[in-house]
Structure 1
Amino acid sequence: MAAPRPVYIGSAEKDDHADPKGEFLSGYHAGAVYELFGLKGVGVAKQPKIDQPVGHRIGYHIRTGKHDVTDFDWEQYLNFADRHLK
């Protein structure tokens, strides 16, 4: 169990084998557990637009492209870490 630890999920719009919609939904539904600790999860009920990160204690983004780790991904991971791991 990860709660109440910070968790970040990154998806890519053309990564069909990873199921981007399912990745978002896993973060969204995990939010109910985080709420037991008085924390906010992803904070939105619908998958966000491409390249627009969302989240609180659970962060999420879906970016353009296929399965990979890009500069955009790293920027989001590091921003999230800066907010939660100081």
Structure 2
Amino acid sequence: MIVEQFEVCNELGLHARVASRIVRELSKFESNVIVKKEGKDFNLKSVLGVMTVNAKKGDVLTIEFSGSDEAAAVEAVRVLFLNKFGEK
């Protein structure tokens, strides 16, 4: 298991379009990807899971990756966050 923290830097946070991008990217991996926020777990491989996180700009999310390709999944998520999910 790998645990990383990522800051939401895009203006609108984790909204529907971003959720779709995250799920589409993570569907390429076998690993489970769970975000922990306020004592709750949310599945980042589900649009509903991403939307329910309700993360806003500036929120720091703790994300757990577990599975055979977890290192590659971490890198994919890192790229998404660094590129602000393709937004400005």
TM-score w.r.t. length of structure 2: 0.33
* Structure with greater contact order relative to length (CA < 8 Å, sep ≥ 6): 2
Larger Rg, first or second structure (1 or 2): 1
